[in-house]
Structure 1
Amino acid sequence: MLFPKMKIQYILPYIFILFLTSCKKDNSTAQNEEEQNVKDTVLHITPLKIELNKLTTGYKNSKKNAIEHFYNKIWPKNDLSGGFLVAKNGQILFEKYGGLANRSTKEEITANTPIHIASVSKVLTAAVVLKLIDLDKLKLDQKVNTLLPEFPYEDITIQMLLNHRSGLPNYAYFADDRAIWDRSVLTNQDVLNLLAEHKFNLYFKPDKKFGYCNTNYAMLALVIEKVTHMNYRDAMKKIIFDPLEMKNTFVFNYDTDRQKVSLSYKGNNVQYGFDFLDAVYGDKNIYSTPRDLLKFDLATYSKKFLNPKLVKQVFKGYSYEHKGERNYGLGIRMHEWKTGEKLFYHNGWWHGNTSSYVTLKGDTVALISLSNKFSYKPYKIWKLSTQFGKYPIEPDKEDGAE
């Protein structure tokens, strides 16, 4: 007998303790198994390669001449400080690199020099979230607070973060208030903690309208960490960067990378210093190259990257409260013209870094421009779309930053 000659009142506490210990062990085991299951799924995402139709030499030469003419018009003094690339079917038609990654050391920018891509990072963050949805580890309509219990806004979903319809306030604004934050280095968890502590008023009722906000993607980075049981840097590397062989792409680490990365400069060549917002990731803080972003763009044409039903949800507009041609999908901006043409893109701006990623899905064309010296010029690359399709772009139309 387990408890020989003991009265029932003495036996019951032992049984209760054994029961609790067993439950705790079972729960811990289940949690560990789920964590390992997610990690195993992520680690077994295989490299994805896709090839589209080969271009003829004649086609490539004619387009190269037109693109080079455009480039020389935008950068007449060849003063590009970054990278510029145009490709069709994954094949580069024209690319250019120039300027300095570090003006003190005179390190030149080459095709392999990672540059801060600012808000173009959102496209890649969204891709990982969508990949997790595709793997049944997450749902678009899932409430954020089911994953981040501290998150104080009950009605906000993953989809609302992706398409900027949450109504969340911008962390850059409330963290700039010294009564709320002392301007020490801010992290994603700090942003969540401040939301939980202060329960700031939303800018508008969730899903009522579009409101571009970096806080959405700072929260999505925490969601990625929660679901994958990895930090955001590792999750991005394992799910996107490694499988697509984006060898010059990484997430900036504020503690270890400040002396290593390409630096950021004002238009007058004065260096931008790092500040207390430079540790927040998801909305920014990915460094990459035009060639690596081309690898990502090419992968989006593969059914193995995301299932077609989910892809349709990515590349559609969600905000039609106001008339106009601009809209936002799931991690991607778009122009939708009455004529039927659609153009997808995302721009970025952080300190002196400006970036533009344009993807013409109907024409399998990628237009990519990155700069580590402040300039609006990278945003003009979308006007090259008219070389590949009947996009009704006005020549004198202003280009927005983000």
Structure 2
Amino acid sequence: MRPGVMGRGKSVGAGPYRMPAWTEKGERIRRLFEACAEQGWFNGRLLVAKDGEPIADVTAGWADRYRRRRLTADTMFNVASVGKTFTAAAVLLLVQEGRLRLDEPIDRWFPELPWRGAAIRQLLAHTSGIPNYIPLVRKGLIETPKERTVQADNAGLLRNICEAQPEPDFPPGERNCYSNTGYMLLAMLIEKVADVPFHDFLERRIFRPCGFARLTECRHSDRAERLADYAVGHWIREDGEAVPPHTVPGWEFVWYLDAIQGDGNVHASAAELLRWDRVLRTEELLGRAALGEAYRPARLNDGSSARNGLGWFVADDSRRGRKVSHAGYWPGYSAEFDRWLDRDIVVIYMSNEEREGSHELRNRMMRETERILFEA
């Protein structure tokens, strides 16, 4: 095994010993990811757990190519949109306490919004019709500074959106369309209701009470100060050189938008995401009613089901059972957090390296992992 690739678990022996089924599945998944790392297709962390116990655990590659620092099992990654699961939990916590109602319109709290009638639950489920701010910024439809010396914050970006008056994508509840703007607004809603900054609410009400020692929400400029073992995001060019993602043509927006809260910017180790699964599974933070809302497919106006619950993508398979999941992507990072509720299986994928074709490679690795887990 080459340096920088660390696997855990026993190897299959040559004698008559037969591994228990889940141990054997974990061993096969570990070998898969180690082989991908050897080929340069995987730089990151992979953790698979059954009944809360790891069965496959792989750490491979660089935390910081520029300083030649290796990843460790405890390295903190930007998990991008996986952070939406924490924003959704924060909203549901306020609902559980009677301080918010899921069916009240967001414009009751933000009368300046150019859109009317979208309920809080529709923002959580991506059925609000509120347009996603990232394409608006990239197309130049929202005013942004010519000199990228100041990062956007939620309030400033919302002002620019309101000034631009973009049309809704569709009437609330008409269909399902992913919107980071909705989660940015939810972070601002939490601040209004709780009367504390969004970061502080997460720290005081979720991270610390639930026993997360290092899990945090922070912007790019604070990472070096807050995080000792942090995975730096890389884009690998065709010549093999690693460059910062915001220097890649077409990705100039990355630095400017890297301080927006609510739709991402949570930083976690693989072990802490596994802890998040246990917190939710044991109803340590949210009760059964709140979790039922989170894991139930949202209902559209025509009575059909959306693919989202409140903060989660949801699916139900007659053989594999209920799956709730969230993927995360931000240039230089990708993450996946898959939970099979009825089987108590968790798959956590985190990477801080991208190159041409890396998304398809990730999808293939995750599909193969799922196939191994559920084959007879």
**Residue of structure 1 in register with 2:15 after alignment:** none
Residue 369 of structure 1 aligns with an amino acid whose one-letter code is Y
Give a deviation string over 1:235-271, Cα, whole Å, max 9, x none.
1112221122222321122443367653211133222
Aligned equivalents of 2:179, 2:29: Cα separation in 1: 34
Structure-to-structure mapping, 1:209-248, within 5 angstroms: 209-248=175-214
**Residue of structure 2 in register with 1:205 after alignment:** 171
Give a deviation string over 1:161-184, Cα, whole Å, max 9, x none.
100011111111223455641335
2:41 equivalent to 1:90: no
Structure 1 position 205, deviation (Å): 0.5
Q: Calculate the TM-score normalised by the size of structure 2.
A: 0.80
**Residue of structure 1 in register with 2:104 after alignment:** 142
SS at structure 2 position matched to 1:191: helix
Aligned equivalents of 2:309, 2:189: Cα separation in 1: 19
2:218 equivalent to 1:249: no
2:86 equivalent to 1:106: no
Residue 190 of structure 2 aligns with an amino acid whose one-letter code is I
Aligned equivalents of 1:390, 1:315: Cα separation in 2: 25
Structure 1 position 345, deviation (Å): 1.3
1:283 to 260, 263, 275: 263
Contact 1:209 1:319 in 2 (8 A): no
2:229 equivalent to 1:263: no
Aligned equivalents of 1:317, 1:88: Cα separation in 2: 25
SS at structure 2 position matched to 1:266: strand
Contact 2:323 2:341 in 1 (8 A): yes
Structure 1 position 325, deviation (Å): 10
Q: Which runs of 5+ in 1 are unaligned?
A: 1-56, 392-402
Structure 1 position 149, deviation (Å): 3.5
Contact 1:84 1:290 in 2 (8 A): yes
Residue 363 of structure 1 aligns with an amino acid whose one-letter code is R
Aligned equivalents of 1:78, 1:326: Cα separation in 2: 37
SS at structure 2 position matched to 1:257: helix
Distance 1:242 1:170, change over 3 A: same
SS at structure 1 position matched to 2:245: coil
2:344 to 364, 367, 374: 364
Aligned equivalents of 2:202, 2:26: Cα separation in 1: 33
Structure 1 position 65, deviation (Å): 2.0
Aligned equivalents of 1:338, 1:86: Cα separation in 2: 22
Q: Calculate the TM-score normalised by the size of structure 1.
A: 0.76
Aligned equivalents of 2:104, 2:78: Cα separation in 1: 31
**Residue of structure 2 in register with 1:345 after alignment:** 325
Say which is worse superposed, 316-325 or 235-244, in terms of deviation. Answer: 316-325
Identity %: 24
Contact 1:272 1:352 in 2 (8 A): yes
Structure 1 position 132, deviation (Å): 1.5
**Residue of structure 1 in register with 2:6 after alignment:** none
Aligned equivalents of 1:180, 1:320: Cα separation in 2: 29
Q: Which runs of 5+ in 2 are unaligned?
A: 1-18, 247-253
Greater RCO, CA 8 A, separation 6+: 2
Contact 1:85 1:94 in 2 (8 A): yes
Q: How many residues align?
A: 335
Structure 1 position 209, deviation (Å): 0.8
Contact 2:95 2:101 in 1 (8 A): yes
Contact 2:176 2:306 in 1 (8 A): no
2:95 to 115, 133, 141: 133
Structure 1 position 311, deviation (Å): 1.5
Which has the higher Rg, Structure 1 or Structure 2?
Answer: 1
Structure-to-structure mapping, 1:135-174, within 5 angstroms: 135-174=97-136
